[in-house]
Amino acid sequence: MGTRVLIAMSGGVDSSVTAYLLSSAGYDCIGVTMRLYDAETSGRDPARACGNLADIEDARAVARRLGIPFTVLDCRDAFERDVIEAFCRAYELGTTPNPCAICNQRIKFGALLAHARELGCEYLATGHYARVAQLESGSFALMKAVDRTKDQSYFLYGLTQEELAHVLFPLGGLTKQGDVRRIAREHGFENAAKRDSQGICFVPDNDFATFIERRRGRALPEGDIVGTDSTVLGRHRGAIRYTVGQRKGLGVAAARPLYVTGIDARANTVTLGDEADLMSGALIADSWTWSAPAPDTEARLDAAPLRAAARIRYHQADQAVRVRRALPPECAAGPVPVRGEALRIDFDEPQRAVAPGQAVVLYDGDVVLGGGRILCAAGA
């Protein structure tokens, strides 16, 4: 009997091919689908939600075809607490959360990895497009996928060395169209052409404001839309309807293009300014997690400003940066209290629309060093 591995199966083509590759390689495979929330009663189209009943049956059918055991893990309580409620609260505090990164850290590689250990599995495998390599030192490196158009390393920065030692990403060295869908077609998988999931899985039509209003049972409070000089330009129907960098749908008539440059949840105001006001040369990030060996990276950080590359959004090109520990006064400008370690990241080139609450991820070439939550933009 081969090494036992728990395979996260969503019913989609990526996880199905993952299960096929590992079972064909001789692993002792167990398939599992997470039940994350009740899409059928949430207002979300069940056909487009993670862990919906149809997806569970699709995953079960693939497992049956491959001859591997299959189970469903009820993660609804943890998902409600750690992802959905955290998502709503972050918006209410004036930040833009990244629920996919949180779900990976707390649910997929938290609860699911714990479940794998309970089943006596050495590894948890998923259909993410990323790679894990073991180095000569014995430590592990989280790396970008070969298929750069599908690379998901940005969302996986929260994986620690302990977790990386027990995860497998079989698709990291493959391409989606040239390899994964071809393998699915060649082996007659009915989901070979199934479309990829998009958007926030639990939010109907990506309408965050309506979702939060329905969840809280009340309309969002109205407030002022102001200019960078505090002049009142209009009224909004809820500050969370706006995102830093937004230009369209502002509800304000102006002689020149205006953009959302800030959201103040305490004052319940939305600030508009010129595109130049969106540019930032640096940011402060907290809640830091090192994917690379923490002692080595911390030593590099202490020796001098760490030279690295950074991304502040998914699919962004790598941006050259210098990294150092943030000073307490630099953290005071954030919309929320600092959590954990805070770093200051200075960009070689100014960045547009740095959004508090989003993830910033550091890279050394293809290797993920770590990442954290953007607390605020910073001046020179």
The dihedral built from the CA positions of residue 325, 288, 196 and 247, taken in this order, carries a sign that is: negative
* pLDDT value, residue 48: 54
- Contact criterion met (CB below 8 Å) for 285 and 342: yes
Beta bridge partners of 234: 225
Q: Strand (E) positions, 158-268?
A: 167-168, 223-227, 232-236, 259-264
pTM of the model: 0.93
Question: pLDDT digit of tens for each residue in the chain (380 aa)?
Answer: 689 999 999 999 999 999 999 999 999 999 999 999 876 545 555 555 565 778 899 999 999 999 999 999 999 999 999 999 999 999 999 999 999 999 998 899 999 999 999 999 999 999 999 999 999 999 999 999 999 999 999 999 999 999 999 999 999 999 999 999 999 999 888 777 777 777 788 898 889 999 999 999 999 999 999 999 999 999 999 999 999 999 999 999 999 999 999 999 999 999 999 999 999 999 999 999 999 998 888 898 988 899 999 999 999 999 999 999 999 889 888 888 999 989 999 999 999 999 999 999 999 999 999 999 999 999 76
Give the list of residues 6+ apart from residue 268 with CB closer than 8 angstroms, or none.
221, 223, 224, 239
Other residues' Cβ atoms within 10 Å of the Cβ of residue 222: 11
DSSP conformation letters of 80-146: IIIIIHHHHHHHHTT----HHHHHIIIIIIIIHHHHHHHTT-SEEE---S-EEEE-TTS-EEEE--S
Other residues' Cβ atoms within 10 Å of the Cβ of residue 24: 12
Catalytic residues: 103, 201
Rounded to 10 degrees, the C-alpha dihedral 10/74/26/192 comes to: -10
* pLDDT value, residue 189: 86
Q: 3-class SS at 276?
A: helix
Nearest-angstrom CA–CA distance, 288 and 117: 26
Q: Which of 363, 350, 372, 369 is nearest to 285 (CA)?
A: 372
Residue 88 C-alpha from the chain's centroid: 15
Q: What are the tokens at 77?
A: 């309580």
Nearest-angstrom CA–CA distance, 105 and 102: 5
Q: What are phi and psi of 139, to 5 degrees?
A: -80, 175
- Contact criterion met (CB below 8 Å) for 76 and 37: yes
Give the list of residues 6+ apart from residue 152 with CB closer than 8 angstroms, or none.
128, 129, 130, 145
- Contact criterion met (CB below 8 Å) for 378 and 283: yes
Domains observed in the chain: 4-205 (3.40.50.620), 220-273 (2.30.30.280), 279-378 (2.40.30.10)
The edge-to-edge listing of strands for the beta sheet with 28-35 is 70-74, 28-35, 4-8, 123-125, 167-168
